[in-house]
Chain A
Amino acid sequence: DVKVTQSSRYLVKRTGEKVFLECVQDMDHENMFWYRQDPGLGLRLIYFSYDVKMKEKGDIPEGYSVSREKKERFSLILESASTNQTSMYLCASSSGAISYEQYFGPGTRLTVT
């Protein structure tokens, strides 16, 4: 079974802190994704990566950056956390072929105070 893990289930940070959210997948998937999930808004794509060191902006990239130095690991970085970034963050991965399923991690609930 595909396993996608995220470094923390819950995280509390202060405004202005630099925050790293880590995601690791064990199925050698080419594609990895970071979503933000907010009540009433569904899932919104922040960034995705289709190969090591490759990244593309999603729908809401402002205030975020990403890093993919190894195929299995995809990091989301909040350079200077703000209260409006309090949210649930979901990581997902999928294979590079036209295989359509994305596998999700358990999520990180981030609170910025």
Chain B
Amino acid sequence: AQTVTQSQPEMSVQEAETVTLSCTYDTSESDYYLFWYKQPPSRQMILVIRQEAYKQQNATENRFSVNFQKAAKSFSLKISDSQLGDAAMYFCAYRRPNLGSQGNLIFGKGTKLSVKP
């Protein structure tokens, strides 16, 4: 079975600095999707960034980028120029490219990011 591991329960970063959140996963599949979701305090979970495993190029969304290492099964999230609004729980998730039950998301346990002014 697939598993997703986030080894950092909590992280802290100074405003305007860069922080990297770690995620590793275990799968025997060659094709899949990876995601980072953000859950601000008392607010809805939203998608930050996605990566298709067949794409070698790392995904980027403004200040958010990933370092996808397929062979190492690693999918880290880099937040550049951190802002106070980046403070949130971040969840890494894995999805098989199947419909129905085989395509459900598998989440890591989350990393709580604090941003210091």
Contact = CB atoms under 8 A, between A and B. Distances in A.
| B interface SS class | mixed
Interface stretch (B60-68, B69-77, B93-101): B93-101
B103 A98 contact: yes
Interface in A66-113: 90, 96, 98, 100-102, 104-107
Contacts, number: 48
Contact of B110 (A42, A45, A50, A105): A42
Contacts of A100: 33, 35, 50, 95, 97, 103
B96 to A, nearest CB: 10
Nearest to B109: A42
Given A40-B109, A41-B109, A43-B91, A104 B99 contact: no
Given A42-B107, A42-B109, A100-B50, A106 B91 contact: no
A48 B102 CA distance: 12
Contacts of A41: 109
A58 interface: yes
26 contacts: A4-B44, A33-B104, A40-B9, A40-B109, A41-B109, A42-B108, A42-B109, A42-B110, A43-B107, A48-B104, A50-B99, A50-B100, A56-B100, A56-B101, A58-B104, A96-B99, A100-B33, A100-B35, A100-B95, A100-B97, A100-B103, A101-B35, A101-B47, A102-B47, A104-B45, A106-B43
Interface of A: 4, 33, 40-45, 48, 50, 56, 58, 90, 96, 98, 100-102, 104-107
Chain A to chain B: the 10 pairs with minimum beta-carbon distance, closest first: A42-B109, A104-B45, A43-B107, A42-B107, A100-B33, A106-B44, A56-B101, A101-B47, A42-B110, A100-B95
